[in-house]
């Protein structure tokens, strides 16, 4: 019984919402709640927190009453760790390289690394794609749209 419950998606969805709701409820009571006439900053979040907790419990309840769907998984069947990692790593590198080296290196790293996330991509193909995006991209944002973000800089 408990084993099947652990495989249900709604078990986690409900649990997540309940926890989130409870967290919000607890946290908002640290602000000034005030009275119904003169509401403090804590009142509205408090109400939302209670509502969210309630909904979370309801979702949790549906997990108890509905049978386990065939083929119910939390993670998709194919785990795309490489893809997921690269998609997150791209913007992270954009922040780091943008902060220290400027727009062009940031753009290149962002496109290059995230392109590596596709299973069929090659190193050379990703480098070429990176260059193909970086040059017109920087021209567009720096020269045409005048974004205050230097193309190159040394930010240490």
Partner 1 sequence: MVTTALTDLWFGFGVALEPHNLMWCFIGVLVGNMVGVLPGMGPLATISILLPLTFGIPPVGAILMLSGVFYGAQYGGAICSILLNLPCHPPHAVTCLDGFPLTKQGRGGAALGITVISSFVGASWGITEMIFLAPVLVTVALKFGPAEICSLMLLGLLAGSTLARGSPLKGVAMTVCGLLIGIVGSDIETGTPRFTFGIPNLFDGVEIVALALGLFGIAEFMKSVNQLSEVDTKYTKVTFKDLRPTKDELRRSWGAMFRGTIIGSLCALIPGTGPTIASFISYATEKKISKTPELFGTGMIEGVACPEASTHSSVQGDFIPTMSLGIPGDAVMALILGALMIQGIVPGPQLISEHPDIFWGLVASFWIGNIMLVVLNVPMIGLWVKLLAIPYKYLYPSALFFVCIGVYSTGNDMFQVGETIVIGLIGYVLLLLDFHPAPILLGFVLGPRFEENFRRAMLISRGDSLVFIDIKDHPISAFFIFLAVLLIVVQLYVRLRKPKALIPELEMNAKPNNIAPVEP
> Contact with partner 1 (CB under 8 A): which of 22, 127, 137, 151?
137
> Contact with partner 1 (CB under 8 A): which of 74, 123, 131, 143?
74
Burial of 48 (0-12, 13-18, 19+ CB in 10 A): middle
The residues in 4-23 that bind partner 1, with binding defined as CB under 8 A, are: 9-10, 12-13, 16-17, 20-21
Residue 39 CB, shortest distance to partner 1, in Å, is 5
Q: Give the whole-angstrom CA distance, residue 132 versus residue 112.
A: 10
Residue 98 makes contact with partner 1 by CB under 8 A: yes
> Contact with partner 1 (CB under 8 A): which of 22, 141, 150, 151?
141
> Contact with partner 1 (CB under 8 A): which of 1, 2, 38, 156?
38
| Rg of the chain over all Cα atoms, to the nearest angstrom | 24
């Amino acid at each position: 019984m408990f084993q099947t419950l652990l495989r249900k998606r709604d078990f986690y969805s409900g649990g997540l919402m309940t926890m989130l709701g409870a967290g919000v409820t607890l946290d908002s009571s640290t602000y000034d709640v005030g009275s119904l006439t003169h509401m403090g900053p804590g009142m509205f979040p408090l109400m939302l927190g209670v509502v969210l907790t309630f909904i979370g419990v309801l979702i949790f309840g549906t997990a108890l009453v509905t049978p386990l769907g065939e083929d119910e998984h939390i993670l998709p069947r194919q785990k795309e760790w490489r893809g997921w990692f690269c998609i997150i790593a791209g913007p992270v590198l954009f922040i780091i390289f943008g902060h220290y080296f400027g727009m062009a290196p940031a753009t290149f790293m962002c496109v290059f690394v995230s392109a590596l996330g596709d299973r069929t991509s090659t190193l050379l193909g990703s480098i070429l794609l990176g260059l193909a995006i970086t040059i017109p991209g920087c021209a567009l944002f720096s020269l045409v749209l005048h974004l205050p973000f230097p193309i190159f800089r040394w930010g240490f």
